[in-house]
Amino acid sequence: MPRKIRELKSLLLKAGFVCESGKGSHTKWSHPLLSGKLTLSGKDGKDAKSYQEKDVDNALKQIAEIQEEDT
């Protein structure tokens, strides 16, 4: 069962991402440890697409790896 967009946003917030801007149903997320931005599209109650879940999971893994290297 796919996660909801709001769940992905919650995961990003907990990991330290900041929602910079949005237009329509699109939101751009950034993290101080990552150089790029992550864009999520869709309303909070909609099911996330598999590529969106993969993008969020990959970003969270990158953050964890960077934080692990720093310690």
- CA angle in degrees (0–180, nearest 5) for 36-44-61: 35
Tell whether pTM > 0.75: yes
Tell me what pLDDT residue 70 has. Answer: 81
- CA angle in degrees (0–180, nearest 5) for 50-30-40: 30
Measuring CA to CA, which residue among 1, 16, 3 is closest to residue 42? Answer: 3
* CATH no., domain 5-66: 3.30.920.30
pLDDT along the chain (71 residues), means of 10: 95 95 91 94 95 97 91 75
